[in-house]
Structure 1
C-alpha cells in the first residue's frame, strides 16, 4: 500500500515537468479562440472548429497520467466542444483547468531579468510582423492566406484569456497545424520580451494609478505570470484590470521587488491583506499565507539564533491571523492584529540588522539548521542500519545506503533546479515537506509495530528458531529503504532552501562563517551518528528490537506533527491554534489538527503495546 501511495505522489510531482507547458498552451488557446469557431451553437469556421477538436484531444492525451479531476475536466471539455456549447461555458472550464495545472506545478521558470518591451518590439518587427502585421493587428502580408488567421493582439477578449506564461509557451512551442511556428531558436529572455510585448498591447490606456503600491512592491511576479487578466479582475475587482496592464507594460517595477528583504515582503503582503480584507476575504487570506511562506519563513532560522522567543511569537501570530481571516465574526480584530504583527516584524528587522547578519549569527544559523534537520534523519538511518548489521543482512545494508545516497543526490538536483532553473514557491516547499513527512511517518509507524512484534514471547521463540538471518523479510527492505530516502530527502530539501536564504542574507563577508557552520554541524552529526550506532550494537538482540521499535514509533509521531504543520503553513489544511508552547524537535505544534493526529497515534501505540504484553 505504501508503495502505491508513493508512486502516486511521485507521479503527481513528475506530471508538471513534462506536460504543463503544452497543457497551458492548449487550454488557453481553446479558451481564447473558441469564439472564432462557434457562435450561438453554430460553427462559423470549420478550420477553427477543427482545431478546437484537435486540441481537446491533445489535452486528453497529455492528462492521461494526471490527477483524476483534471482527466474528468478534459473529458468534459471535449464533450462541450462536440456539443458546440456556449463560449462562456468553454471559458469557465478552461480557466478552471488552467488553474488546476498551475496548482499542480511546483513552480515555473521565471525570466532571469525583467522583460524589455523595447527589445520585444524590435524582435516582433523582425520575426512576427510579416504574419501579424506591423502594428500587431493580424494583417501581415505573409498571413493573408493562413487559416486560421494570425492573432490580432489588439483584441481585448483574446487578451483577457491569455497569460504571459501561456504566450511564452506559444512562442516557444509554436501551434501545431497552424502557421504559428516555434521560435525556440530565440534565447529564453528574448521569448519573454516578445511575450510581454504582444501581451501588453490590448491592455494599454488604463489608469494604473489606482493599483496599490504594496501590490507592486510585494513582487507578485509568479502569480501574475500565470494569471490571465480575467483571473486578476475576478480576484481584485477594483484594480485587477489596471494591475495586469501595469504588470505587462512596466514589468521592471515588479521584478525589482523580487530582491527585497523577506521581512519587507512579509510586511508588504500583510498590508495588502489588510487592504483587501473588506472586499475580498479570500484574497486577503492568500496574501497572509504568502506573507509567511515567501517572507517570514525565509528568516526564521537566522532570527532564531538572535531571539527565539520573538521568532515563535511572530510565527504564532501569523498562523493565528489566518484563523481570524476565515472567521467573519472576528472582522473587527483583523486590522489590529495585522498592525501588531507588523510591529513584531519591524522589531525582527532591527534585531537582524536589516538584511545583513553578523559572522557569528551566520555561523550559528548554519550550524543549527543542519544539526536540527540532520538529527532526525540521522536517527532513522542509524536505527535502520543497525538493524541490518544486527541481523546480518547485507542486502538491507545496501538498501539503506541506496536510500540515503539517493536522497542526497536528489537534494543536489533540488539545489541546482531551485538555484538555476526554477524558483520553488513557499507553498510548494511546504507541500513537499508535508507529504514527505506524512508518508515517512506512516511507514515508520508500521515498521515500529513490525519490529516490536519480534519481542513478544511467541514471536521471539519463532525468531530464534528461524535464526536471526531470516528476521528481515525482502518486503521489509523496500519499506525501510524508503523511510531512509524520505527522511533524508525531506531534511535535505528544507536545509537547502533555508541555506539559500541564509547565504544571501549573510553577504560575502559571512561566507566563511557559513561554511564553518556547515562543517561544524557535519562533524557533530558524524559523532552523534557513531555514538548512536555503537550504542545500538551493544544492546542484546531482543532489547535492540524493542528499543528500535520504540524509536521508530516516536519518530513517526514527530514526523506526523511536522507533516501536518507543513501542510497548514502551505494553506492546504485549516489551523485551529491552542494556547500551548511549540516544541519543534518533538514535532509538537500548538494546533488542534496536529495534536489530534499525534494523540491518536500515541493511543494506538499504547493500546498495541499493552495488548502485546498481555499476549
Structure 2
C-alpha cells in the first residue's frame, strides 16, 4: 500500500472517528440536559417539607444527580471549555442538596441554572433550521404516539394501562419543545418511552412542537408573532416561561396562539399566479419595469420550483408555460398591450391547469423514486464524463498530486452538496435570480475550461506531440497553481450539478414527506450503483485505447459538452433576467443537449462551435505544413 492510500485511509478513519465522537457528545449532552430538566420538574413528587413522600421517585432523583456528574466527567476530555469544566461544583452541590432533601424550589433553581449554563455554551443545537410544521407533526404523532399518549395527548392511549410509569399527559406537563425533542430523540431508560432517533431532525422538531400544541388545541386563531420573539426562545421555553415573556412584552398574543403558530408556506404556483397578476396590474398603470420584475418573480419563485415535478407528468404544459412566460416578458419590454394581454390570459389558464395536474398527482413511492433517480443519473453523468476524461488524461503523466487534486475537488463538491441538503430551506430562500446566477456562472466557467481542454486534447492527439509534451511540459503541470486550478475546476463541475439535484429533491420531499425520504434514499443508492457500473465500463474501454485515439475521442466529447453547457449557462442568465430573450418559434427545445428556442443561446452555442472548428482547422493546417516540410527535407 503506497503512501497516498495510507493517507486516504487515514483521512477516512479520522473523519469517521470525529463524526462518531461528535454524535456521542451530542447524545451525552442532551442526556445531561434532560436529566437536569427531570430533576427540576419531578423532585416535588419525591420530597415535601424535607421528608421523602415517594421512595421510588427519591431514589430516581438521587440516581439522576449522580448520573449527571458522571456524564459531565465523561465529556470533559472532548469538550475543551473552561465554563463546562466549572460545572462540576454546582453538579455536586445539586447531588448534595438532593441527598439533604432540600426544598423543591432550591433544587429547581440549581438544576435549571446548570442547564442554562450548558445551553449558553452554544455547543448543543437547540433550534430547528426552519419553523416546524404542525401539520407534519400531527401525522407523525398519529403514526408513532397515539397508542400510548392518546389521540389528544392525555396519556390515555390503548397501551397506557400496561405502562409504569404512565405515559406523559401533555395537558399537564410543563415541557418546552427542546425538552420534548430531547426525550423523543433519546427515549427514557426504564420506561415505555423508546428512542425515535430514526426520525430526521426536521421530523423530530415537527413532532416536538406539535405535542406542545395539544393542550392549546382550542386556540387556533392565527396571529403574527411579536418581532422580538424568536424561534430559539420558543424552542427552549416552556409555557410558563413563554407566558412570562408575553406579559413583559405587553403582547396581545396568547401562549396558545404561539404554540399553534405555523407560518404561511404558499404553494409555488400560487406565488406564480399572484406575481403574474401584480405584473399585469403594473403594466396597465404604465410601470413596465416593475411589471417585468413581477413577471420574472412569477417564474423564478413560482413555476421553476415545481417545473421538474410538473414536467414528469405534463412536459408539454411546462414547455407551454415557459414559452408564454418568455413571450409575455417580451411584450412587456416592447409595450405591446395586445400581446401582453393575450399571453397574460394564456398563462393564467396554463398555471391553473398546472395546479390541477399537481393536485391530482399521486406522489407515491414509485413516482418519487423514479423522479429522484432520473435527476440523479442525468446530473451525475454530465459531471462524471468530464471528471473521467481528466483522470484518463492524467494517468499516463503519473502526476499523483494532480490526480489527488481532481479527486479532492469532486469529493469536496459532493460533501458540500450533502451539507447543503440539511440547509435546503436557506437555499430555497435564496432569490430565484441568485440560484440561476450561480448555475449560469458555474456553467460558463466550465465551458471556458472545456474549450481549452478540447483544443489541447486535439492538438496532442498525435503520439509524437504527446511524447514531446510529456518530456518538456510535465514540470509546469506539477506546479502548485495548476493543482489548485484542477481542484477548483473539479469542484465547480460537480457542485453545479449537486446544487440543482438538492433543490429538486427538496421539492420532491415536500410533496409527500411520509414516503419521500425512503424513496429518495433508495434512488440515491440505485444511482450510486449505476454510476459505479458506468465508471468501470468507461475506464475499461478507454484503457485499451491508444493515447492518440483517446485524446481525439475525448476532444470531441469535451467539445460537445462545452456546447451543451453554453446553452444551459446562457439560459440560466436569461431566466435570472441578466440577458434578454428573443424567442425563435420554429426552433426545438432539447434540454438534454442544451438547445433552447431563443436567439441568444443558439448564437452563443454557434460561437463556441465556431471556436472549436477554427482551432481544429488550425491544427489540421499545422499538421499539413509539418508533413510538407518533412517531405521537402527527405527530398
Give TM-score scaled by structure 1 length: 0.57
Q: Tell me which of 485, 496, 513 is aligned to 2:519.
A: 513
Change (3 A) 1:444 1:347: same
* Distance in 2, Cα, partners of 1:421 & 1:373: 18
Q: Which residue of 2 aligns with 1:417?
A: 423
* Distance in 2, Cα, partners of 1:382 & 1:462: 24
* Distance in 1, Cα, partners of 2:234 & 2:348: 42
Q: Which residue of 1 aligns with 2:607?
A: 600
Q: Is the 8 A contact 2:402 2:478 kept in 1?
A: no
Change (3 A) 1:471 1:614: farther
* Distance in 1, Cα, partners of 2:528 & 2:370: 13
* Distance in 2, Cα, partners of 1:436 & 1:364: 27
After superposition, the C-alpha distances for 1:150-189 in whole angstroms (9 at most, x for unaligned) are xxxxxxxxxxxxxxxxx98xx89xxxxxxxxxx9997899
1:589 aligns with 2:610: no
Q: Which residue of 2 aligns with 1:494?
A: 500
1:388 aligns with 2:394: yes
* Distance in 1, Cα, partners of 2:555 & 2:607: 18
Q: Tell me which of 316, 326, 332 is aligned to 2:323.
A: 316
Q: Is the 8 A contact 1:448 1:552 kept in 2?
A: yes
Q: Which residue of 1 aligns with 2:369?
A: 363
Structure 1 spans left out of the alignment, 5+ residues: 1-108, 115-166, 173-182, 191-200, 202-250
SS at match of 2:442: helix
Q: Which residue of 1 aligns with 2:78?
A: none
Computing the radius of gyration from Cα coordinates, the structure with the larger value is 2
Q: Is the 8 A contact 2:130 2:425 kept in 1?
A: no
* Distance in 2, Cα, partners of 1:368 & 1:283: 38
Change (3 A) 1:449 1:410: same
* Distance in 1, Cα, partners of 2:284 & 2:305: 29
Change (3 A) 1:493 1:319: same
1:302 aligns with 2:309: yes
Q: Is the 8 A contact 1:110 1:423 kept in 2?
A: no
Q: Is the 8 A contact 1:404 1:485 kept in 2?
A: yes
SS at match of 1:294: helix
SS at match of 1:589: coil
1:482 aligns with 2:488: yes
Change (3 A) 1:361 1:353: farther
Q: Tell me which of 520, 528, 534 is aligned to 2:534.
A: 528
Q: Is the 8 A contact 2:574 2:580 kept in 1?
A: yes
Change (3 A) 1:304 1:185: closer
Q: Is the 8 A contact 2:129 2:423 kept in 1?
A: no
* Total equivalences in the alignment: 393
After superposition, the C-alpha distances for 1:538-586 in whole angstroms (9 at most, x for unaligned) are 2101112222222222222221211111111111221111121111111
* Higher RCO (C-alpha under 8 Å, 6+ residues apart): 1
- Kindly state the Cα deviation for residue 110 of structure 1 after the two structures are TM-superposed: 11
After superposition, the C-alpha distances for 1:209-230 in whole angstroms (9 at most, x for unaligned) are xxxxxxxxxxxxxxxxxxxxxx
Change (3 A) 1:275 1:369: same
Q: Which residue of 1 aligns with 2:164?
A: none
Q: Which residue of 1 aligns with 2:384?
A: 378
Q: Which residue of 2 aligns with 1:240?
A: none
Change (3 A) 1:573 1:349: same
Q: Tell me which of 453, 458, 462 is aligned to 2:459.
A: 453
1:545 aligns with 2:551: yes
**Which shifted more, 537-546 or 454-463?**
454-463
Q: Is the 8 A contact 2:461 2:547 kept in 1?
A: no
- Kindly state the Cα deviation for residue 424 of structure 1 after the two structures are TM-superposed: 2.1
- Kindly state the Cα deviation for residue 604 of structure 1 after the two structures are TM-superposed: 0.9
After superposition, the C-alpha distances for 1:503-550 in whole angstroms (9 at most, x for unaligned) are 101331444333333332222222222222222222101112222222
- Kindly state the Cα deviation for residue 435 of structure 1 after the two structures are TM-superposed: 0.8
Q: Is the 8 A contact 2:379 2:501 kept in 1?
A: yes
1:574 aligns with 2:580: yes
Q: Which residue of 2 aligns with 1:277?
A: 283
1:334 aligns with 2:340: yes
SS at match of 2:272: helix
* Distance in 1, Cα, partners of 2:537 & 2:593: 21
* Distance in 1, Cα, partners of 2:455 & 2:571: 25
* Distance in 1, Cα, partners of 2:541 & 2:484: 25
- Kindly state the Cα deviation for residue 429 of structure 1 after the two structures are TM-superposed: 1.0
Q: Which residue of 1 aligns with 2:22?
A: none
* Distance in 1, Cα, partners of 2:338 & 2:552: 54
**Which shifted more, 374-383 or 442-451?**
442-451
Q: Which residue of 2 aligns with 1:399?
A: 405
Q: Is the 8 A contact 1:110 1:422 kept in 2?
A: no
Q: Is the 8 A contact 2:462 2:548 kept in 1?
A: no
Give runs of ≥4 in structure 1 deviating > 4 Å. 183-190, 254-257, 464-467, 469-473
Q: Which residue of 2 aligns with 1:555?
A: 561
**Which shifted more, 350-359 or 477-486?**
350-359
SS at match of 1:297: helix
Q: Is the 8 A contact 1:391 1:471 kept in 2?
A: no
* Distance in 1, Cα, partners of 2:352 & 2:428: 30
Q: How does 1:51-200 map to 2 (within 5 A)?
A: 112=131
Q: Is the 8 A contact 1:363 1:513 kept in 2?
A: yes
**Which shifted more, 349-358 or 260-269?**
349-358
Q: Is the 8 A contact 2:312 2:371 kept in 1?
A: yes
